[in-house]
Amino acid sequence: DTGVSQNPRHKITKRGQNVTFRCDPISEHNRLYWYRQTLGQGPEFLTYFQNEAQLEKSRLLSDRFSAERPKGSFSTLEIQRTEQGDSAMYLCASTRRGQDYEQYFGPGTRLTVT
Amino acid sequence: DAKTTQPTSMDCAEGRAANLPCNHSTISGNEYVYWYRQIHSQGPQYIIHGLKNNETNEMASLIITEDRKSSTLILPHATLRDTAVYYCIVRLYNNAGNMLTFGGGTRLMVKP
């Protein structure tokens, strides 16, 4: 396994701009999860995909947040009209079919909104 | 998901066993106990999980009390690389997606 990768690792943007983050899961992992982590807190679940289907999105923080996984491989998380409160680490994790108990996390994308 | 309570921080001497407690007194019968850790500037890492029997793998042992209201994660010979935040999570495990709820965790400092 080459591990879960996330790009970019760091993103600085001005308030009001749109940002998009990419997550490449481990090959053949069918589920993909997105979390957000603010300073000093544990990760907070946002959404997840099984293959290309987004099966849970009610925890996305607002309608400014959206995610896609168009071909069931990589995923993108987009934040529109960023606010300073969106500054956080955005983490992606993937799991192997039948082994959903073990989530493999990427290194995260740190977003700073100025 | 049942709520968990963990100490905010703990110290452990290098080479000694680290015993990290977790209280989950409201756990229901079909909820599992999971442990993850997060080393500074990295994503969380799965350690172990269990339902009611004690479990052991190459990283750690998980001891769950008979009433399942608490558990202990044991790192048998802690090293400096085990310094991390350790999260105890209780969640129902089924095929409907494993959306983990991380609390504040325990910050373990392994000291030389």
Which string of DSSP letters, residue by residue, matches B42-83?
S--EEEEEESSS-EE-SS-EEEE-TTSSEEEEEETT--GGG-
Across the interface, of A33, A42, A56, the residue whose CB is closest to B104 is A42
Instruction: Assign A85 to helix, strand or coil.
Output: helix
Q: Fill in the amino acid letter for A20.
A: T
Is residue B32 within 8 A of residue B49, CB to CB? The reply is yes
- From CA A98, how far away is CA B67, in angstroms rounded? 28
**Rounded average pLDDT over A6-18:** 98
Which residues of chain B have a CB within 8 Å of the CB of A35? 100, 102
Burial A70-104 (b: 16+ CB within 10 A, else e): eeeebbebebeebeeebbbbbbbbbbbeeebbbbb
Query: What pLDDT does A1 receive?
Result: 55
Query: Would you say residue A98 has pLDDT above 70?
Result: yes
Best to test chain B binding among A102, A104, A109, A110 (most B CBs inside 10 Å): A102
Q: Do A93 and B43 touch (CB under 8 A)?
A: yes
**Rounded average pLDDT over A1-6:** 87
Residue B24: half-sphere exposure toward Cβ, Cα within 13 Å = 30
How many C-beta atoms lie closer than 10 Å to residue B44's C-beta?
27
Q: How many residues does chain A have?
A: 114
Query: Would you say residue A28 has pLDDT above 90?
Result: no
Query: Would you say residue A84 has pLDDT above 80?
Result: yes
Which residues of chain A have a CB within 8 Å of the CB of B41? 107
Residue whose C-alpha is closest to residue A109's, from A31, A37, A50, A48: A37
Q: How confident is the model at residue A60 (pLDDT cuts 50, 70, 90)?
A: confident
Instruction: Assign A100 to helix, strand or coil.
Output: coil
Query: What pLDDT does B1 receive?
Result: 72
Q: What is the pLDDT of residues A30-58, one digit of tens each?
A: 999 999 999 999 999 999 999 999 998 88
From residue B56, how far is each of A5, A23, A54, B59 by CA, in Å? 29, 31, 34, 8
Query: What pLDDT does A61 receive?
Result: 85
Interface contact A60, partner B, CB < 8 A:
no
Query: What pLDDT does B2 receive?
Result: 72
Tens digits of pLDDT across chain B (112 residues)? 779 999 999 999 999 999 999 999 999 988 999 999 999 989 999 999 999 989 999 999 999 999 999 999 999 999 999 999 999 999 987 777 888 989 899 999 999 9
Which residues of chain A have a CB within 8 Å of the CB of B100? 33, 35, 43, 45, 103
Which residues of chain B have a CB within 8 Å of the CB of A108? 43
Residue of chain A whose Cα is closest to the Cα of B51: A101
Q: Fill in the amino acid letter for A48.
A: Y
Q: CA of A17, closest CA in chain B: separation in Å?
A: 26
Q: Do A31 and B97 touch (CB under 8 A)?
A: yes
Query: What pLDDT does B8 receive?
Result: 97
Query: What pLDDT does B99 receive?
Result: 87
Which residues of chain A have a CB within 8 Å of the CB of B85? 42
Query: What pLDDT does B105 receive?
Result: 96
Q: Do A4 and B43 touch (CB under 8 A)?
A: yes
Query: What pLDDT does A90 receive?
Result: 98
| Cis preceding-peptide flag for A8 (omega within 30 of 0) | yes
Percent of chain A predicted with pLDDT > 90 = 85
Query: What pLDDT does B79 receive?
Result: 97
